[in-house]
Amino acid sequence: AQTVTQSQPEMSVQEAETVTLSCTYDTSENNYYLFWYKQPPSRQMILVIRQEAYKQQNATENRFSVNFQKAAKSFSLKISDSQLGDTAMYFCAFTKWGNKLVFGAGTILRVKS
């Protein structure tokens, strides 16, 4: 069974600085998909970024980028120029094609002014 581990329960960062959230996963699959979801205090689950395992290029979405290391089974999220609105719980998630999402425990990120 696949597992997803987020080893940082909480993190904080100053506004405008950069922060990296860690995620590792365990799978024997070769083709799969990885996601980062954001859950602000409103509790809405918002997709931040996705990465297909067959793509070597790291995904980027504006201030959000990932460092995908397939051999190491690592999938970290970098947030540049942090903003107060980035304060949220961040979940790393794994899925195979057409299958269910497996979530990590989450990392609470607090952006301080």
Partner 1 sequence: DAGVIQSPRHEVTEMGQEVTLRCKPISGHNSLFWYRQTMMRGLELLIYFNNNVPIDDSGMPEDRFSAKMPNASFSTLKIQPSEPRDSAVYFCASRTLAGPYYNEQFFGPGTRLTVL
According to CB under 8 A, which residues from 51 to 90 bind partner 1?
A: none
Dist CA 108 CA 38 (whole Å): 10
Residue 98's nearest CA partner among 35, 36, 33, 5 is 33
Residue from 101, 112, 81 nearest 32 by CA: 101
Choice between 82 and 107, CB closer to partner 1: 107
Half-sphere exposure of 86 (CA within 13 A, CB side): 29
Q: Select the residue interacting with partner 1 from 20, 101, 108, 110 (CB under 8 A).
A: 101
Closest approach, Cβ 47 to partner 1, in A, equals: 6
Residue of 91, 92, 94, 109 interacting with partner 1 (CB under 8 A): 91
Residue 42 DSSP class? T
Interaction between residue 106 and partner 1 (CB under 8 A): yes
Binding site for partner 1 (CB under 8 A): 33, 35, 37, 42-47, 50, 91, 95, 97-98, 100-101, 103, 105-106
